[in-house]
Amino acid sequence: MEIPEVKRLSAVKRDHLARLAKERKRPDGRKPDEYRPIKIERNVIKKAEGSARVKIGNTLVLAGIKLEIGEPYPDSPEEGAMTTYVELPPLASPEFEPGPPTPDAIELARVVDRGIRESDYIKLDKLCIEPGEKVWIVFIDIHVLDYDGNLFDACSLAASAALQNAIIPNERYDLGENQPLPVGSPPVSCTFVKYEDFIVIDPCLEEEEIAQARFTVALDKNGDIRAMQKGLKGSFTIDEIKNNIKRAQIQAKKIRKLLEE
């Protein structure tokens, strides 16, 4: 997340974080591979076909799943479709302004989408109603409520958890009984940021404020890579990227357990 320079970081804060980084310490005392406490609540929105509220530290996001009937894409006439949208409403941060989605919101949505799509999490081939005519379209809408760092992982986790308990609203369209949305195994996303040559997982807001580079990787249940995204204007070395993935493979297992509870 790019935060406007003015009014953000004071030289004192920058120096303090840099000093801590040299000692491999983080401003909130966490270890480099430690996540903040994660809380997942499912089925929190009645009107949605599936929903989940995820808290990572103070970051709070809400994902809602809506299903509608629509036309399939011409090159996949017997498959349903999915689309992901992220809203960054003004209430989540003093820096968020109302208006059309910013490049940050769009990048967030597309990265979350990629993780889910490339994991074949939603069984799109089971969402056909009438080949070439009618299929189910799955809308994944993520509403950020409180931004305190690491929206990539919070949004991905909320989307996965919301899809886990989603239903196909057959009854609303007189197509029979409601059924659970057919899903496979969810992706788990891990995000790192780099500042002063220190690479840490699950950045808090302060760390994002001085981050030079960001890296997100979505892994499946076997630890295979399904999606990746490098962000911000700094760079990673090849070894750093490889190392990040290895670190993610370990941490993702723990998060996957939370999803399976």
Partner 1 sequence: MLIKDGKRVDGRKPDELRPIKIEAGVLYRADGSCYLEWGGNKIMAAVYGPREALPRHIQDPTKALVNARYNMASFSVEERKRPGPDRRSIEISKVTSEALESVIFTELFPRTVIDISIEVLDAEAGTRCAGITAAGVALADAGIPMRDIPVACAAGKVDGTIVLDLTSEEDQEGEADLPIAIAPRTEEILLLQMDGHMSYKEFEEALELAIKGCKEIAKLQRKALLNKYKTFEVG
Partner 2 sequence: MMRKIVLPGSVVGNAKGKIAGKGVFKEGDKLYSSRLGILEEKGKVVNVIPLSGVYDPNVGDTVIGVIQEVFKNAWIVDINAPYPALLNMEDAPWKMEYGETAKYLKVGDVIVALIKLVDEARNVEITMKGKPCRKIEDGIIIEVQPSKIPRIIGKNASMLNILKKYTQCWIFIGQNGRIWIKGEDEKVNLLIKAIRRIEKEAHTFGLTERIIKMLGG
Contact assessment for residue 165 and residue 42, using Cβ atoms and an 8 Å cutoff: yes
Q: How far is the CB of 158 from partner 1 (least distance, A)?
A: 12
Interface with partner 1: number of residues (CB under 8 A): 32
Q: Is residue 94 at the binding interface for partner 1, with CB under 8 A as the rule?
A: yes
Three-state DSSP at 37 gives coil
Q: Is residue 141 at the binding interface for partner 1, with CB under 8 A as the rule?
A: yes
Return the one option of partner 1, partner 2, none that residue 180 interacts with (CB less than 5 to 8 A, by type): none
Q: Is residue 4 at the binding interface for partner 1, with CB under 8 A as the rule?
A: no
* Residue 115 to residue 219: CA distance in whole angstroms: 8
Q: Name the percent of the chain in helix, strand, coil, to the closest 5.
A: 30, 30, 40
Return the one option of partner 2, partner 1, none that residue 25 interacts with (CB less than 5 to 8 A, by type): partner 2
Residues 13-52 that bind partner 2 (CB under 8 A): 13-16, 25, 29
* Residue 217 to residue 66: CA distance in whole angstroms: 26
Which CB sits closer to partner 1, 101 or 182?
A: 101
Interface with partner 2: number of residues (CB under 8 A): 13
Which CB sits closer to partner 2, 16 or 123?
A: 16
Q: How far is the CB of 60 from partner 1 (least distance, A)?
A: 7
Rule CB under 8 A: choose which of 17, 21, 38, 51 binds partner 1.
51
Contact assessment for residue 260 and residue 165, using Cβ atoms and an 8 Å cutoff: no
Q: How far is the CB of 39 from partner 2 (least distance, A)?
A: 20
E-assigned strands of the chain? 38-42, 50-56, 59-70, 81-87, 128-130, 134-146, 167-168, 179-180, 188-195, 198-201, 213-219, 225-231
- Cβ count within 10 A of residue 17: 21
Q: Is residue 46 at the binding interface for partner 1, with CB under 8 A as the rule?
A: yes
Q: How far is the CB of 5 from partner 2 (least distance, A)?
A: 7
User: What b/e string do you get for 30-54 counting C-beta neighbours within 10 Å, with b at 16 or more?
Assistant: beebebbebebebeebeebbbbbbb
Q: Is residue 246 at the binding interface for partner 1, with CB under 8 A as the rule?
A: no
Q: Which spans of this chain sit near partner 1 (rule: CB under 8 A)?
A: 44-48, 51, 58, 60, 62, 64-66, 68, 85, 87, 89-94, 98, 100-101, 139, 141, 143, 145-148, 172
Binding site for partner 2 (CB under 8 A): 5-7, 9-16, 25, 29
